[in-house]
């Protein structure tokens, strides 16, 4: 390792808005950190980089062709669909990701969205502070129905690390677990039931998406699949927006064909003002922050450094391309 090795973090603010220490990466080379990078600035900022670290900046074939010194791309994330991995491989560039760093944070957000839908704590707090409870003749105030999760079915699409964590949380709430997964039934934890997607959508009280965005999963939750859901069902997506037909989801919410949805991801981020889910009935949206707890971000930064160090030592880990 040499101090002349040039590392450029192109959109670092999401991982480290100022509360973490960059020293694990600084000790590996000369580090330039940019909070954000527009496409027009990417090549000029990374022109002499040996390694770049990215969170969401798109790195395509055209950019790679203009970065002749580049040897390594490290995703500050588990997903890496914003990197043209095939084009990188063709140029001999190693691409790595960070698996499992945000597992518990994302699973926690999936349940935070679900519990807001079922229990309405923030809505009830707002109503109470506006004096609605104070004017009631009885001891309580129940304008919104509450839903108990015990005994209901949690349908999980994708049983990787995050899906498995959500499944364990569902069990803790007394829920039955159904899964759409490539894993065989005999390889699933006791009590989990493997289902086809159509059956899972039709029989689950809650459907939660936890598969990666791949060509075969883009549009997986289609209008036809959403149409199979129960009128009382809740839909949760903390994976990737393009996995879901968002227009069909909005239409199902607005027509009352499903009860509610909670999403942390959208197909276009940030969304335009006319995005259909922004105006959909009973749709709760958080701005792609499920992964961003300080604990998860700290793990991401340290793992990014460990990935790069392993590459420099000639033994790359977490390689995706």
Give the model confidence (pLDDT) of 7-31 as tens digits. 999 999 999 999 999 999 999 999 9
From the list 210, 275, 288, 297, the catalytic residue is 288
Q: Cβ distance 227 to 257 under 8 Å?
A: yes
From the list 65, 136, 148, 269, the catalytic residue is 269
pLDDT of residue 229: 98
Of the candidates 204, 177, 171, the residue with the CA atom closest to the CA atom of residue 193: 177
From the list 240, 246, 275, 297, the catalytic residue is 240
3-state helix, strand, coil in the chain (%, to 5): 35, 15, 50
Task: Find the DSSP H helices in the chain.
Answer: 23-26, 39-46, 61-65, 85-90, 103-119, 121-129, 161-172, 197-203, 223-227, 246-254, 294-312
**Residue-by-residue DSSP string for 114-150:** HHHHHH-HHHHHHHHHTTTTTT-SSS---SS-----T
DSSP state of 319: B
CA 169 – CA 174 distance, rounded (Å): 9
Q: Is 20 helix (H, G, I), strand (E, B) or coil?
A: coil
Q: What is the pTM of this model?
A: 0.89
Q: What is the mean pLDDT of residues 85-98?
A: 97
- Model confidence at 138: pLDDT above 90: no
Same fold, 6-100+294-312 and 103-285: yes
> Is-catalytic flag, 257?
no
Whole-number mean pLDDT of the chain? 95
pLDDT of residue 147: 96
Task: Find the angle CA(310)-CA(315)-CA(316) to the nearest 5 degrees.
Answer: 65
103-285 homologous superfamily: NAD(P)-binding Rossmann-like Domain (3.40.50.720)
**Backbone angles phi and psi of 119, in degrees to 5:** -115, -20
Q: Is 166 helix (H, G, I), strand (E, B) or coil?
A: helix
pLDDT of residue 154: 98
> Is-catalytic flag, 288?
yes
Domain extents for the chain?
6-100+294-312, 103-285
Give the CA distances from residue 235 to residues 51, 86, 168, 210, 220, in Å, rounded to whole numbers and listed in that order: 39, 33, 18, 12, 14
pLDDT of residue 2: 47
Q: Which residues contact residue 231 at a Cβ distance below 8 angstroms, ignoring those fewer than 6 apart?
A: 256, 257, 258, 259
Of the given ranges (37-41, 133-137, 241-245, 300-304), which has the lowest mean pLDDT?
133-137
Q: Cβ distance 240 to 80 under 8 Å?
A: no
CA 37 – CA 21 distance, rounded (Å): 20
> Is-catalytic flag, 3?
no
- Model confidence at 3: pLDDT above 70: no
- The encoded tokens of residue 285 equal 């949206």
- The encoded tokens of residue 279 equal 């105006």
CA 220 – CA 213 distance, rounded (Å): 9
Q: Cβ distance 127 to 141 under 8 Å?
A: yes
Give the model confidence (pLDDT) of 208-239 as tens digits. 999 999 899 999 999 999 999 999 999 999 99
- In CATH, the number for domain 6-100+294-312 is 3.40.50.720
């Amino acid at each position: 390792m040499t101090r002349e090795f040039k590392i450029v973090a192109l959109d670092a603010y999401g991982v480290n808005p100022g509360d973490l220490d960059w020293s694990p990466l600084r000790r590996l080379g000369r580090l330039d950190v940019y909070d954000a990078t527009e496409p027009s600035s990417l090549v000029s900022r990374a022109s002499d980089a040996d390694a770049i670290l990215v969170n969401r900046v798109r790195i395509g074939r055209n950019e790679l062709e203009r970065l002749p010194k580049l040897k390594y791309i490290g995703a500050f994330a588990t997903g890496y669909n914003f990197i043209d991995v095939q084009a990188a491989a063709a140029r001999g560039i190693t691409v790595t990701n960070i698996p499992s760093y945000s597992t518990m944070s994302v699973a926690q957000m999936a349940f935070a969205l679900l519990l807001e839908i079922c229990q309405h704590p923030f809505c009830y707090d707002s109503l109470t502070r506006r004096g609605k409870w104070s004017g009631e003749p009885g001891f309580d105030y129940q304008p919104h129905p509450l839903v108990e999760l015990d005994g209901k079915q949690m349908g999980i699409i994708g049983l990787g690390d995050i899906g498995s964590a959500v499944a364990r949380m569902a069990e803790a709430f007394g829920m039955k677990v159904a899964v759409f997964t490539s894993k065989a039934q005999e390889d699933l934890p006791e009590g989990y039931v493997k289902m086809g997607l159509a059956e899972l959508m039709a029989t689950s009280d809650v459907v939660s998406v936890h598969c990666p965005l791949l060509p075969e999963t883009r549009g997986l939750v289609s209008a036809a699949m959403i149409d199979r859901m129960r009128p009382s069902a809740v839909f949760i997506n903390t994976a990737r927006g393009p996995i879901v037909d968002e227009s069909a989801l909005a239409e199902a919410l607005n027509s009352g064909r499903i009860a509610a949805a909670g999403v942390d991801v959208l197909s276009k981020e940030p969304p335009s003002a006319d995005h259909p889910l922004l105006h959909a009935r009973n749709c709760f949206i958080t701005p792609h922050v499920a992964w961003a707890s300080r604990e998860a971000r700290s793990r991401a930064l340290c793992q990014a450094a460990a990935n790069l160090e392993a590459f420099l030592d000639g033994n790359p880990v977490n390689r995706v391309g």
